[in-house]
Structure 1
Amino acid sequence: MLRSLAAALLFTAAPAAAADDLAEAREILAEQPVFDGHNDLPYGIRENDGRIGDFPYARLDDRYAGKLVTDAAGMKAGGVGAQFWSVYVPASLPQPEAAVQTLEQIDMAKRLIAANPDSLALAATAEDVRRIMASGKVAGMFGVEGGYSIANSLGVLRQFYDLGVRYMTLTHSQSLDWADSATDAPKAGGLSEFGREVVHEMNRLGMLVDLSHTAPATMRQAIAESAAPVIFSHSSTRGVANHARNVPDDVLAMLPQNGGVVMITFVESFLSEDRRQWGGEQAAYEARMRALEPGLSEDEIAKRMTDWEAKNPAPKASVEDAADHVDYARRIAGIDHIGIGSDFDGVTSYPNGLTGPADYPNLFAELLRRGYSAEDLKKISSGNVLRVLERAEQVAARLQGERGPSEMRFSAEAAAR
């Protein structure tokens, strides 16, 4: 009888404790809201209908079910106070066209903010972010995702800064003549001379150097070159999930001296080693099929892939997996060098318990259960990335007093040597 009573009490205590953790997480995020490093909503809008005028940002309707997850209701419920909106365009575009489409995406993001003045506001500085957060709105800054968007021009880089871009990811999925990607063959040996000058000019402007998507050699060289803290806007740790897009231990260990942050992302194959391995098996199956049966139509390939996935369901990542990456980054880099970069609306599936902006408190509740303090969580939510942004602004003020805009031009001949 006593044993049964004890079991019943334990059974009821666990949900109560979980509810308490979630309530405390919400209170912490009310005091120090999330500053998320990467959200692809502007490109999601472009891909769906491209029109801001009738986009239901206040609360997504049935037109976007299964397509997009970001709206004002979710951001408010999740305790979001600031967002780096990605102005991504595909890496496959010719560089002049990439620059044009990036301008269109900046315009898209600006119009999204202007159309929703009750919930969104544009920020230019860390001070702006703090002020907008305090008002209850979401502060917005822009992130260019891939150096191809500047079309090998430092002048274009400077104009992007003037339009509100506050970080640039040096590469995306393909290597450039001046910077190497994590998911492509190297071209530049990390960073070329022009690549190093891109980093220097970003420092002078006060634009954060984002090393997500870059090769480890690019990461190491950029950190060595940068006078300001760097960010990884949406990456996790390679020690937990051995994905090329994640950050190696030796690079994590460089962050304390540099001052930068790794912003843990919610991409399932970056969080879960099982999911990463499943993705490799999926890709291998498709590659074998294409090699052995080159005459197959794309419709037939899609049908066979659907059949394969039905027989081999993808393992799901979880809130606990995301917390494992936070734990790992804390052990290697320290609590002052961690943030959150969800990649919401940049992928098509999400971990259990982290399916949209309303779910950020679930991760913070899990961290509370693991012994993190309220002060720890305030650093992770936005304190660390705000410190990085403020430091970048200080470095820029100093460098602008020392030198003017760089006049280096990209040289294809030099890049080929």
Structure 2
Amino acid sequence: MNELHRRAVVADTHNDLLCAVVARPVERWAGYFRDRWLPQLRAGGVDLQTLPVFVEDAYRPEGALRRTLRMVEAAHRIAEGNADAVALCRDGAEIDEALAGGRIALVLALESAPGVGEDVELLHTLFRLGVRVASLAHFGRTALADGSGEDQTGGRLTKPGAAAVAEMERLGLLYDVSHLGIAGVEHVLELATRPVIATHSSARALFDHHRNLSDDQLRAIAAGGGVVCANFFAPFLHASDYSIDRLVDHLEHLVGVMGVAHVGLGPDFLQEVLADTTPPCCEPETVEGVPADAYLPGLEGPAGLPLLTDALLGRGWAEDDVVAVLGANVRRLYTAELGRRA
């Protein structure tokens, strides 16, 4: 790990490790995290880790809220069982305290919120439990919005979806536009009076995939003070060249369109999570028909993050710009917005 990476605050805004944790017996949750994930986060220099609560299709809709609460409970048990190494943080002051003490700051996020449905008041319940970031759709349609896989519908937010934006702004829940359909992103940006984040999305101008954001969307997010965190999932970056260079291309495009103060990292590390949660008897996991092991060599998991710093410096990036994208921008946004009541 080079010295710049070591002294930078490194923020990862999307790692589905909670899915792997809850696949273990409950008494193993904290220990499994300590044995399996903590060494990887330390090796990658991760200081600020967002933990998405993702509810698989098998639990939707009937079991979605129970699954959501179980994963939230897992995050709390991870923090309680590893209090010397991590802290579950609800605002900027708690993030600062964790980092000052050499601990990794954990932030809870909802991914598509199927456990909420039209009952927008449950966002307040989940806020009480420590959730501080939320998106309202995944690939498909929810009670609140259409995901990016439904772009052909032209769907904006539903009435409860619009109410959710207002409730999130009131509470200090940061709105995440990753996975939201084109019309939904536009609708959120029309309604939003506070910055938003895209926790794991890359540049559509470089690769025309519905999970990426257009330049107009990027500019609008930046104009509102938000941050877009590049997704590392190789099939969202290029049709065939799965390399760190293509990821750097996307980061350079984001910076060129938005300005360096509005770009971060949302790796979406999938390989180990899917290997850990898919029984050997089953077919290999895919994401929209693409094998989920189509990863960037060297960036299969968080331990590889120093390679990205090396790649950015190799492209001639200024050190201050590298530090900003590695995590300073996300830390600034989180400090300003998490838990801050309207």
Shared fold (TM-score greater than 0.5)?
A: yes
Q: Distance between the aligned counterparts of 2:90 and 2:164, measured in 1?
A: 21
Q: Secondary structure at the match of 2:11?
A: strand
One-letter code aligned to 2:161: G
- How far does residue 147 in structure 1 lie from its aligned partner after superposition? 2.9
CA contact (8 A) 1:91 1:174 kept: no
Name the residue aligned to 1:249.
Answer: 215
Q: Which amino acid aligns with 1:200?
A: A
In structure 2, the partner of 1:375 is 320
Q: Decide whether the 8 Å contact of 1:259 with 1:337 is kept in 2.
A: yes
SS in 2 for 1:235: coil
1: CA distance between counterparts of 2:153 and 2:30?
A: 43
Partner residue, 2:147 = 181
Moved more, 211-220 or 265-274: 265-274
Q: Give 5+ residue unaligned stretches, structure 1.
A: 1-21, 61-70, 275-315, 400-417
Contact 1:179–1:188, Cα closer than 8 Å, also in 2:
no
Per the TM alignment, residue 170 of structure 1 is displaced from its structure 2 partner at its CA by 1.5
- Shift in alpha-carbon separation, 1:84–1:31, aligned structure 2, 3 A: same
Contact 1:58–1:73 (8 Å) recurs in 2: yes
Provide TM-score, normalisation by structure 1: 0.73
Q: Which residue of 2 aligns with 1:335?
A: 260
Query: Residues 49 and 244 (structure 1 numbering): CA distance in 2 closer, same or farther, change over 3 Å?
Result: farther
Aligned counterparts of 1:59 and 1:100: Cα–Cα separation in 2 = 26
Contact residue 78 and residue 361 of structure 1 kept, 8 A: yes
Instruction: After superposing the two structures, state which structure 1 stretch, 49-58 or 38-47, moved more.
Output: 49-58
1:103 & 1:245 partners in 2: Cα distance?
A: 27
**What is the aligned length?**
322
Q: Deviations over 1:124-175 (max 9, x none)?
A: 1112112211221111111111132212112211111111111111101211
Residues 21 and 33 in structure 2, CA contact (< 8 A), matched pair in contact too: no
Partner in structure 1 of residue 332 of structure 2: 387
- Give the counterpart letter for 1:84 in structure 2: T
Identical pairs, percent = 30
The equivalent of 1:17 in structure 2 is none
Q: Deviations over 1:172-214 (max 9, x none)?
A: 1211233111013666821123211111110111111001111
Say yes or no: does 1:363 pair with 2:339.
no
Asked if residue 42 in structure 1 is aligned to residue 3 in structure 2, the reply is no
2:176 to 193, 197, 210: 210
Give TM-score, length-normalised by structure 2: 0.88
Root-mean-square deviation (CA, aligned residues, Å) is 2.1
Conservation of the 8 A alpha-carbon contact between 2:118 and 2:143: no
SS at match of 1:147: coil
| Alpha-carbon distance in structure 2 between the residues aligned to 1:150 and 1:166 | 15
- Distance between the aligned counterparts of 1:92 and 1:221, measured in 2? 29
Q: Is the alpha carbon distance of 1:232 and 1:34 closer, same or farther for their aligned partners in structure 2, counting shifts above 3 Å?
A: same
User: 1:244-293 CA deviation, whole Å, 9 max, x = no partner?
Assistant: 1111121012122111111111111112222xxxxxxxxxxxxxxxxxxx
| Residue of structure 1 in register with 2:247 after alignment | 322
1:96 Cα deviation from its structure 2 partner: 4.7
Q: 1:96 to 1:132 in 2, by over 3 A?
A: same
Cα distance change of structure 1 residues 171 and 131 upon mapping to structure 2, 3 Å threshold: same
Specify which of 32, 35, 40 is matched with residue 56 of structure 1.
Answer: 32
Post-superposition Cα deviations, 1:297-353, rounded to whole Å, max 9, x if no partner, equal xxxxxxxxxxxxxxxxxxx61211111110110111111111111112455422112
Aligned partner of 2:51 in structure 1 is 85
C-alpha contact (below 8 Å) 1:45/1:51 kept by paired residues: no
1:28, distance to aligned residue in structure 2 (A): 2.4
Amino acid at match of 1:366: A
- Per-residue deviation, 1:101: 0.9
Once residues 217 and 232 of structure 1 are traced to their aligned partners in structure 2, the CA distance between those partners, rounded to angstroms, is 15
Higher helix content, 1 or 2 = 1
- Where 1:154 maps in the other structure, the secondary structure is coil
Q: Distance in 2 between matches of 1:163 and 1:210?
A: 18
Measured in 2, the distance between the counterparts of 1:247 and 1:53 equals 35
Match of 1:28 in 2: 4
Give the distance between the partners of 1:155 and 1:87, measured in 2 at CA.
18
Give, in angstroms, the shift of residue 393 of structure 1.
4.6
Segment drifting more, 196-205 vs 343-352: 343-352
Q: Distance in 2 between matches of 1:112 and 1:363?
A: 28
Query: Residue in 1 aligned with 2:239?
Result: 273
Whichever residue aligns with residue 342 of structure 1, its letter is: P
- For the Cα contact (< 8 Å) 2:51–2:107, is it kept in 1? yes
Q: Distance in 2 between matches of 1:165 and 1:188?
A: 29
Distance verdict in 2 for CA 1:187–1:240, change over 3 Å: closer
Which AA in structure 1 matches 2:32? Answer: P
Output the amino acid matched with 2:253.
Answer: Y
1:25-174 matches, within 5 Å, as 27-47=3-23, 51-53=27-29, 55-60=31-36, 71-91=37-57, 93-174=59-140
Alpha carbons of structure 1 residues 45 and 58: separation in structure 2 relative to 1, 3 Å: closer
SS of the aligned residue for 1:149 comes to coil
